[in-house]
Amino acid sequence: DGGITQSPKYLFRKEGQNVTLSCEQNLNHDAMYWYRQDPGQGLRLIYYSQIVNDFQKGDIAEGYSVSREKKESFPLTVTSAQKNPTAFYLCASSTGVGPYGYTFGSGTRLTVV
Amino acid sequence: QQQVKQSPQSLIVQKGGISIINCAYENTAFDYFPWYQQFPGKGPALLIAIRPDVSEKKEGRFTISFNKSAKQFSLHIMDSQPGDSATYFCAASIDSWGKLQFGAGTQVVVTP
Protein backbone atom coordinates (compact mmCIF):
# COMPACT_ATOMS: atom_id res chain seq x y z
CA ASP A 1 0.00 0.00 0.00
CA GLY A 2 1.21 3.49 -0.81
CA GLY A 3 1.71 5.95 1.97
CA ILE A 4 4.01 8.00 4.14
CA THR A 5 6.07 6.47 6.92
CA GLN A 6 7.40 8.62 9.74
CA SER A 7 9.82 7.27 12.28
CA PRO A 8 10.24 7.06 15.13
CA LYS A 9 6.75 7.55 16.57
CA TYR A 10 8.21 8.90 19.83
CA LEU A 11 11.57 10.58 20.26
CA PHE A 12 13.28 11.97 23.31
CA ARG A 13 16.06 14.48 23.04
CA LYS A 14 18.42 15.91 25.58
CA GLU A 15 18.96 19.62 25.50
CA GLY A 16 21.80 20.58 23.15
CA GLN A 17 21.42 17.53 20.94
CA ASN A 18 20.49 17.40 17.29
CA VAL A 19 17.91 14.80 16.29
CA THR A 20 16.72 13.67 12.87
CA LEU A 21 13.14 12.68 12.07
CA SER A 22 12.62 10.34 9.16
CA CYS A 23 9.95 10.68 6.46
CA GLU A 24 9.65 8.24 3.56
CA GLN A 25 6.92 8.08 0.90
CA ASN A 26 6.18 5.54 -1.82
CA LEU A 27 3.45 7.56 -3.52
CA ASN A 28 5.77 8.91 -6.22
CA HIS A 29 4.86 12.41 -5.05
CA ASP A 30 7.11 15.28 -6.10
CA ALA A 31 6.42 17.60 -3.17
CA MET A 32 7.04 16.95 0.51
CA TYR A 33 6.38 19.08 3.59
CA TRP A 34 7.18 19.27 7.28
CA TYR A 35 4.73 20.75 9.78
CA ARG A 36 4.90 21.37 13.48
CA GLN A 37 1.80 21.04 15.64
CA ASP A 38 1.62 22.23 19.23
CA PRO A 39 -1.21 21.26 21.60
CA GLY A 40 -4.46 22.92 20.61
CA GLN A 41 -2.82 24.72 17.73
CA GLY A 42 -2.87 24.47 13.99
CA LEU A 43 -0.25 23.32 11.54
CA ARG A 44 2.80 25.50 11.04
CA LEU A 45 4.97 24.91 7.99
CA ILE A 46 8.66 24.33 8.70
CA TYR A 47 10.13 23.41 5.29
CA TYR A 48 8.89 22.14 1.98
CA SER A 49 10.41 20.67 -1.14
CA GLN A 50 8.82 20.56 -4.57
CA ILE A 51 11.66 18.75 -6.31
CA VAL A 52 14.71 16.69 -5.45
CA ASN A 53 17.74 18.71 -4.32
CA ASP A 54 15.65 21.81 -3.71
CA PHE A 55 13.74 23.00 -0.66
CA GLN A 56 12.25 26.20 0.70
CA LYS A 57 11.83 27.63 4.18
CA GLY A 58 8.36 27.76 5.61
CA ASP A 59 7.00 30.00 8.34
CA ILE A 60 9.09 28.64 11.23
CA ALA A 61 12.34 27.30 9.73
CA GLU A 62 14.72 28.65 12.37
CA GLY A 63 16.43 25.84 14.27
CA TYR A 64 15.53 23.21 11.68
CA SER A 65 17.27 21.80 8.61
CA VAL A 66 16.24 19.41 5.84
CA SER A 67 17.65 17.58 2.84
CA ARG A 68 16.03 16.11 -0.26
CA GLU A 69 18.54 13.82 -1.90
CA LYS A 70 15.94 11.30 -3.02
CA LYS A 71 12.38 11.74 -4.19
CA GLU A 72 11.14 9.31 -1.57
CA SER A 73 12.87 10.83 1.45
CA PHE A 74 12.70 14.17 3.27
CA PRO A 75 14.38 13.98 6.69
CA LEU A 76 14.06 16.82 9.19
CA THR A 77 16.84 17.66 11.65
CA VAL A 78 15.89 19.52 14.79
CA THR A 79 19.05 21.31 15.84
CA SER A 80 20.13 22.55 19.25
CA ALA A 81 19.33 26.06 17.99
CA GLN A 82 15.61 25.27 18.19
CA LYS A 83 14.73 26.64 21.61
CA ASN A 84 11.41 24.91 22.10
CA PRO A 85 11.43 21.69 20.08
CA THR A 86 8.87 19.70 22.06
CA ALA A 87 5.99 19.21 19.62
CA PHE A 88 4.21 16.84 17.27
CA TYR A 89 5.88 16.79 13.84
CA LEU A 90 3.98 15.87 10.71
CA CYS A 91 5.35 15.04 7.29
CA ALA A 92 3.15 15.27 4.20
CA SER A 93 3.47 14.78 0.48
CA SER A 94 1.55 15.82 -2.61
CA THR A 95 1.77 15.70 -6.35
CA GLY A 96 3.08 19.25 -6.17
CA VAL A 97 0.47 20.85 -8.38
CA GLY A 98 -3.18 20.27 -8.98
CA PRO A 99 -6.16 19.75 -6.68
CA TYR A 100 -5.11 16.59 -4.94
CA GLY A 101 -4.33 17.77 -1.45
CA TYR A 102 -1.83 16.24 0.92
CA THR A 103 -1.22 12.79 2.32
CA PHE A 104 0.06 12.97 5.88
CA GLY A 105 2.19 10.59 7.86
CA SER A 106 1.22 9.48 11.36
CA GLY A 107 3.60 11.92 13.03
CA THR A 108 6.56 11.92 15.41
CA ARG A 109 6.17 13.24 18.93
CA LEU A 110 9.42 14.85 20.05
CA THR A 111 10.03 15.56 23.72
CA VAL A 112 13.02 17.35 25.19
CA VAL A 113 14.13 15.82 28.48
CA GLN B 1 -0.67 36.56 8.30
CA GLN B 2 -3.15 33.71 8.24
CA GLN B 3 -4.64 33.39 4.77
CA VAL B 4 -7.44 31.09 5.90
CA LYS B 5 -9.40 32.00 9.02
CA GLN B 6 -11.34 29.22 10.77
CA SER B 7 -14.01 29.38 13.45
CA PRO B 8 -14.99 28.36 16.03
CA GLN B 9 -11.89 27.15 17.83
CA SER B 10 -13.93 24.42 19.49
CA LEU B 11 -17.49 23.24 19.68
CA ILE B 12 -19.52 20.70 21.60
CA VAL B 13 -22.53 19.07 19.99
CA GLN B 14 -24.90 16.39 21.15
CA LYS B 15 -25.12 13.08 19.35
CA GLY B 16 -27.46 13.46 16.39
CA GLY B 17 -26.90 17.20 16.16
CA ILE B 18 -25.29 19.26 13.41
CA SER B 19 -21.72 20.52 13.67
CA ILE B 20 -20.88 23.59 11.61
CA ILE B 21 -17.36 24.92 11.04
CA ASN B 22 -16.70 28.05 9.04
CA CYS B 23 -13.69 29.27 7.07
CA ALA B 24 -12.97 32.52 5.26
CA TYR B 25 -10.21 33.42 2.83
CA GLU B 26 -8.89 36.53 1.11
CA ASN B 27 -6.91 35.26 -1.87
CA THR B 28 -9.33 34.96 -4.79
CA ALA B 29 -6.77 32.87 -6.66
CA PHE B 30 -7.47 29.91 -4.36
CA ASP B 31 -9.21 27.18 -6.35
CA TYR B 32 -9.10 24.09 -4.18
CA PHE B 33 -10.62 23.83 -0.70
CA PRO B 34 -10.12 20.58 1.25
CA TRP B 35 -11.11 19.66 4.77
CA TYR B 36 -8.98 17.41 6.96
CA GLN B 37 -9.95 15.34 10.00
CA GLN B 38 -7.39 14.60 12.70
CA PHE B 39 -7.74 12.20 15.62
CA PRO B 40 -5.44 12.59 18.66
CA GLY B 41 -1.93 11.31 18.01
CA LYS B 42 -2.59 10.78 14.30
CA GLY B 43 -1.87 12.70 11.12
CA PRO B 44 -4.69 14.61 9.42
CA ALA B 45 -6.62 12.73 6.75
CA LEU B 46 -8.44 14.22 3.78
CA LEU B 47 -12.16 14.24 4.49
CA ILE B 48 -13.78 16.09 1.60
CA ALA B 49 -12.80 18.80 -0.88
CA ILE B 50 -14.50 21.29 -3.20
CA ARG B 51 -13.66 23.48 -6.20
CA PRO B 52 -15.09 27.02 -6.52
CA ASP B 53 -17.30 26.14 -9.48
CA VAL B 54 -19.50 24.09 -7.15
CA SER B 55 -21.64 25.57 -4.35
CA GLU B 56 -22.12 22.39 -2.38
CA LYS B 57 -20.62 18.93 -2.14
CA LYS B 58 -21.93 16.10 -0.01
CA GLU B 59 -20.25 12.86 1.01
CA GLY B 60 -22.26 10.83 3.44
CA ARG B 61 -22.91 12.93 6.54
CA PHE B 62 -20.33 15.54 5.57
CA THR B 63 -21.24 18.54 3.40
CA ILE B 64 -19.16 21.47 2.20
CA SER B 65 -21.00 24.68 1.37
CA PHE B 66 -19.10 27.22 -0.71
CA ASN B 67 -19.92 30.90 -1.17
CA LYS B 68 -17.54 32.35 -3.75
CA SER B 69 -18.80 35.92 -3.54
CA ALA B 70 -18.40 35.99 0.25
CA LYS B 71 -15.10 34.09 0.08
CA GLN B 72 -16.36 31.66 2.69
CA PHE B 73 -16.82 27.92 2.94
CA SER B 74 -18.12 25.70 5.68
CA LEU B 75 -18.26 22.08 6.78
CA HIS B 76 -21.51 20.63 8.07
CA ILE B 77 -21.49 17.33 9.91
CA MET B 78 -25.02 15.98 9.96
CA ASP B 79 -26.24 13.49 12.58
CA SER B 80 -22.98 13.94 14.52
CA GLN B 81 -21.65 10.79 16.20
CA PRO B 82 -19.17 10.35 19.08
CA GLY B 83 -16.74 8.89 16.52
CA ASP B 84 -16.72 12.27 14.77
CA SER B 85 -14.96 13.80 17.79
CA ALA B 86 -11.74 15.10 16.26
CA THR B 87 -9.99 18.25 15.12
CA TYR B 88 -11.02 19.56 11.73
CA PHE B 89 -8.88 21.77 9.52
CA CYS B 90 -9.96 23.71 6.47
CA ALA B 91 -7.38 24.59 3.82
CA ALA B 92 -6.99 26.30 0.48
CA SER B 93 -4.53 26.20 -2.39
CA ILE B 94 -3.88 27.30 -5.94
CA ASP B 95 -3.57 24.52 -8.52
CA SER B 96 -0.41 25.86 -10.06
CA TRP B 97 1.15 26.32 -6.66
CA GLY B 98 0.10 23.22 -4.75
CA LYS B 99 1.03 24.40 -1.27
CA LEU B 100 -1.92 24.33 1.12
CA GLN B 101 -2.75 27.15 3.51
CA PHE B 102 -4.39 25.71 6.64
CA GLY B 103 -6.89 27.19 9.04
CA ALA B 104 -6.14 27.03 12.76
CA GLY B 105 -8.38 24.02 13.36
CA THR B 106 -11.62 23.32 15.23
CA GLN B 107 -11.87 20.75 17.97
CA VAL B 108 -15.24 19.02 17.80
CA VAL B 109 -16.58 17.02 20.74
CA VAL B 110 -19.74 14.99 20.24
CA THR B 111 -21.38 14.03 23.52
CA PRO B 112 -23.39 10.79 23.85
Q: Over the stretch B13-34, which tens digit does the pLDDT of each residue have? A: 999 999 999 999 999 989 899 9
Distance separating alpha carbons of residues A110 and A36, to the nearest angstrom: 10
Pairing of strands A4-7, A103-104: unpaired
Tell me which of A26-30, B85-89, B95-99 is least confident. B95-99
Q: What is the pLDDT of residue A113?
A: 86
Residues B50 and B66: beta-carbon distance below 8 Å = yes
Smallest CA-to-CA distance from A2 within A27, A20, A34 is with A27
B interface toward A at CB cutoff 8 Å? 6, 31-32, 34, 36, 41-46, 49, 51, 89, 91, 93, 95-100, 102-105, 107
Residues in A touching B45 (Cβ below 8 Å): 104
Q: Is the pLDDT of residue A1 over 70?
A: no
DSSP B15: T
What confidence tens digit (pLDDT) does each residue in B82-95 have?
999 999 999 998 76
Mean per-residue pLDDT for A50-60? 93
Residue pair A14/A112 in contact (Cβ under 8 Å)? The answer is yes
Q: Tell me what the mean pLDDT of segment A46-52 comes to.
A: 94
Return the pLDDT at B100.
86
